[in-house]
Amino acid sequence: NAGVTQTPKFQVLKTGQSMTLQCAQDMNHNSMYWYRQDPGMGLRLIYYSASEGTTDKGEVPNGYNVSRLNKREFSLRLESAAPSQTSVYFCASSETSGRSPYEQYFGPGTRLTVT
């Protein structure tokens, strides 16, 4: 049981390049999330997927797109990377119905630098 896995762990991009961050969970959770973490700002929600086949914008969606490929996988795409997207990106998953307290389980993060 690996929990939430993310690839890659580190990435350096040039401005304007594109890339996709991959996330997978093996806990059969319905909901998945993408956050970015910047110093002194906590975690901010980029996009979420409440269930397979649905995605919605979070707090800071501009410059990103997502795909909920199936129940296990939720990818985040940067179409044209900008230096302002330098951050640590976390994927998380949770169950959102039935048993509380709806704990979110986090992956180890992807450290992205855009030069």
29 binds other proteins (CB under 8 A): no
Output the smallest distance, CB 108 to other proteins, in A: 5
State the amino acid at position 13 in one-letter form: L
- Number of Cβ within a 10 Å radius of residue 2: 9
Residues of span 59-88 touching other proteins by CB under 8 A: none
Beta bridge partners of 111: 10, 88
8 A C-beta contact, residue 69 and residue 75 = yes
CA distance 83 to 103: 32
Residues forming beta bridges with residue 113, ordered by sequence position: 12
Tell me which of 47, 64, 74, 90 binds other proteins, using CB under 8 A. Answer: 90
Residue 108 in contact with other proteins, rule: CB under 8 A: yes
Q: How far is the CB of 7 from other proteins (least distance, A)?
A: 14
Q: Where on the chain is the footprint of other proteins (CB under 8 A)? A: 4, 31, 40-45, 48, 50, 56, 58, 90, 92, 94, 96, 100-109
